[in-house]
Amino acid sequence: MNIHLTKSQIGLDGVPAAETVLSHVDGERGELIIAGEHVGTLASQSSFEGVTARLWNGASKTSLSEANVRASLGAARERAFVRLPELLPPTRGMGIVDGFRAAVAGLRAENGLEHEATIVGAFPVIAGALVRRAKGLEPVAPDPNASHAADTLRMLRGASPEPREVAALDAYFVTVCDHGMNASTFATRVVASTQADLFAAITAGYCALTGPLHGGAPEPVLEMLDAIGSSERVKPWVDAALARGERLMGFGHRVYRVRDPRADVLKAAIERLSADGADLPFAGEVEAYIRSALRKKNPDRPLETNVEFFTAILLDALAIPRQAFTPIFAAARAAGWTAHAREQQRTGRLIRPSSSYVGEMPKASGE
């Protein structure tokens, strides 16, 4: 009784909580393997639909092709568009991240149709409608023949994107579609372990994603870059933030002790997207100074650039409003969540850890 846990125990650091065929994160070597392939290889050779097929096949022992997934996501986007009036929260004051949470919670099973596709297909439809509603615009109907990435941009903008923009968003979707036992995937698996359905499980996953220590980081990354503003302000701004004890968004990771491999995959995607390099030179200056400042601050704890730093720059270069970054992240990660939920349900095992009670004990009788 009254055994206090260490910081690592409280954070379940390094505790394996599932056997999975879906993805593997090697924090020492800086490697991410998704469904048997390195993330960099997937991002250059596979579409989001292709990697989603691999994840769903791995979890459910199916043999879906990329074309199967593309067709089922297209059909699911159309169904979601029809349901938009009942899914979107009536109040516009909720904001995009919270409005998305309310709409996702309204998703439900559609008889005889794949739940995985219903969920993943609905996400960009909801995100697009919320972004447009915030600007006073009507939602744009999906094109079921377009790819997930192309239609996401179309529904956000109301115009067809350029092929290089589609390629950049597709590379992003592939890069972030799954990532071991991250917080949102764990939340998803905990709910799925109760044998609740996929809709309940991914709602929990999305809620976990929204926090700034996880998928809510990219919007603050842009705010940080805006606040720094110019080269001469990098050092004073960063030093002052660290002196105040603030965490710098887009840096550090629970598992990686070296650079997050996804950072370089996204950096390369940004370079391909922007002929002139977009904001990369300034972002590069900020990144370099923050890395050196963090090395000085925590010499024994490597704190390197994580995926969210370049996510912010990539999504901004695609003119996606920063308030929609977390829902757009979810539009990719939902592929992983749905696969993990299925994999967890198949184990039939409830996730139910214990806690260490450090509270008062009842007084012994007679005292």
Residues with active-site annotation:
253, 308
306 binds ligand ACO per the rule CB under 6 A = yes
Question: Between residues 23 and 306, which has the closer beta carbon with respect to ligand ACO?
Answer: 306
* HSE-up of residue 194 (Cα within 13 Å, Cβ side): 13
- Whole-angstrom distance, CA of residue 87 vs CA of residue 133: 13
Q: How many of the chain's residues bind ligand ACO (CB under 6 A)?
A: 21
Binding window for ligand ACO (CB under 6 A); candidates: 19-27, 87-95, 100-108, 251-259? 251-259
287 binds ligand ACO per the rule CB under 6 A = no
Contact residues for 276 (Cβ-Cβ < 8 A; gap 6+): none
CB of 45 to ligand ACO, least distance (A): 23
Question: Between residues 68 and 305, which has the closer beta carbon with respect to ligand ACO?
Answer: 305
- Whole-angstrom distance, CA of residue 51 vs CA of residue 57: 10
249 binds ligand ACO per the rule CB under 6 A = yes
**30 dihedral zone (left: phi>0; alpha: psi -120 to 50; beta):** left
DSSP label at 146? S
308 binds ligand ACO per the rule CB under 6 A = yes
Question: Between residues 128 and 252, which has the closer beta carbon with respect to ligand ACO?
Answer: 252
The SS3 assignment for 16 reads coil
Strands annotated E in the chain: 23-26, 31-34, 37-38
Please, which of residues 338-367 interact with ligand ACO by CB under 6 A? none
253 binds ligand ACO per the rule CB under 6 A = yes
Question: Between residues 125 and 314, which has the closer beta carbon with respect to ligand ACO?
Answer: 314
- Whole-angstrom distance, CA of residue 148 vs CA of residue 48: 7
250 binds ligand ACO per the rule CB under 6 A = yes
247 binds ligand ACO per the rule CB under 6 A = yes
- Whole-angstrom distance, CA of residue 274 vs CA of residue 308: 19
3 state SS for 26-95: ECCCCEEEECCEEHHHHHHHCCHHHHHHHHHHHHHCCCCCHHHHHHHHHHHHHHHHHHHHHHCCCCHHHC
35 binds ligand ACO per the rule CB under 6 A = no
Question: Between residues 67 and 240, which has the closer beta carbon with respect to ligand ACO?
Answer: 240
225 binds ligand ACO per the rule CB under 6 A = no
CB of 252 to ligand ACO, least distance (A): 2
- Residue of 50, 99, 252, 327 that binds ligand ACO (CB under 6 A): 252
Judged by the rule CB under 6 A, the positions of this chain that interact with ligand ACO are: 182, 212-215, 217, 247-254, 294, 298, 301, 303, 306-308
